Amino acid sequence: MAYTTIDKPSDYFNTKLYTGNGSTQSITGVGFQPDMSWTKVRSETGSHRLVDAVRGNTKFIYPNGTDAEATVTTNVTSFDSDGYTLGNGSINESARTYVAWNWLAGGSASSNSNGSITSTVSANTTSGFSIVSYTGNGSAGATVGHGVGSALDMIIVKKRSSTAQWVVGHKAMDSTFDNFLFLDSDSAKGNADNVFNDTAPTSSVFSIGNAGDTNASGQTYIAYCFADVKGYSKFGSYTGGGSNFPFIYTGFKPSWLMVKNTSNNARNWTIIDNKRNPFNPEDEWLYANASDSTFDASSYPTDFVSNGFKIRNTGSYFNTSGENYIYMAFAENPFVTSTGIPTTAR
């Protein structure tokens, strides 16, 4: 059996940097037509913006806030075959620099009736990713079809129709998703049976309780669903080692990494990638839960290596001794290709 089914991860996930022009411009070089694009201004303070093909290119939500979905016609005016086109909105202001993280799902969405709630799904079974829209019914024990074809390792859910927090379930916190985090908050993990119904996702559905953030009757929701794919993506955990700098094996050279301390409050969701800083150490941080501009983390270095990442700092966001962390990572290259060829160190 081949080590991986994905030899070129950038066919499914890719980071794009650009500078705003205050008018209109086409962002090309993504390598595919994105189904989800998450954009953050780097040079200034400003909210994250997330748009996807299931909700439509004009429907924005803000990962660092609890706001309901907003319609903005001047940001992404179209998804294109190699990227997307921008208008003169807030993600294209003149002379400001931006980063956009882009994922490929399944293109056009279709109805999914695998769960007790019928969902609308754009899924990519190869890359283990789907975008799921559904309307809550307020019933504990409801299920939602996700289309990924394997059991989910991480779920991010946001109520679209009114104010709510972004709920994150991650297998490394609890195999039955009883524990959860908020993407828009720096708080430590919480615990509640009625968020994901204390039930592990299956290969076809995820479960929700009657919590308002995941299943209020008549409210609309969007869920971003992820499953491990060997050589391409990893959703794992580690324990901080302090001065004994930990190495975390992923099975690939990362291109993008988001880490969250689950043990303590006041610890941001920290994102690094190989485009904002193409060489080790990775020391340009952005926070998923905050509107801050780029943070110079040269005093808190982390290295991307051929089969994982090596933490070289003792900071609380990555490596407090004895504290627990979860992570979400996507590959630049698999450790070994489908033909058995190993990648080189960075």
For 299-329, what is each residue's pLDDT tens digit? 999 999 999 999 999 999 999 999 999 999 9
Is 339 a member of any domain? no
Instruction: Give CA–CA dist 223/260, Å, rounded.
Output: 19
CA dihedral 184, 189, 195, 198 (to 10 degrees): 150
Do 273 and 181 share a structural domain?
no
Task: Among 67, 86, 103, identify where a domain stops.
Answer: 103
Count of helix runs (H) and strand runs (E) in the chain: 2, 28
With contact defined as beta carbons under 8 Å apart, do 327 and 257 qualify?
yes
Residue 69, in any domain of the structure = yes
Do 74 and 89 form a contact (C-beta atoms < 8 A)?
yes
Residue 322, Cβ neighbours under 10 Å: how many?
9
Give the Cα separation of 40 and 172 in Å (integer): 27
pTM: 0.96
Q: Tell me whether residue 221 is in a domain.
A: yes
* Pair (247, 174) in one structural domain: no
Mean pLDDT by 10 residues, the chain (346 residues): 86 98 98 98 97 97 97 97 97 98 96 98 98 97 98 98 98 95 97 96 98 98 98 98 96 97 96 96 96 96 96 95 97 80 61
In a shared domain, residues 243 and 154: no
Strand order, beta sheet including 70-71:
13-19, 97-103, 36-41, 49-52, 56-61, 70-71
Burial of 174 (0-12, 13-18, 19+ CB in 10 A): middle
Domain that holds residue 321: 233-334
Instruction: Please indicate, yes or no, whether residues 178 and 277 belong to a single structural domain of this protein.
Output: no
Q: Which two tokens stand for residue 201?
A: 């996702």
Tell me if 2 is assigned to some domain: no
DSSP letter at 241?
-
Last residue of a domain, one of 52, 82, 103: 103
Indicate whether 137 and 217 sit together in one domain. Answer: yes
* Structure confidence by residue, pLDDT tens digits, 118-139: 999 999 999 999 999 999 999 9
My answer on whether 150 and 217 are in the same domain is: yes
If asked whether residues 61 and 131 sit together in one domain, one would say no
Q: Is residue 239 part of a domain?
A: yes
Report the C-alpha gap between 26 and 40 in whole angstroms: 17
Tally of structural domains, the chain: 3
- Which of 103, 128, 158 terminates a domain? The answer is 103
Can you give the C-alpha Rg of the chain in angstroms?
Answer: 19
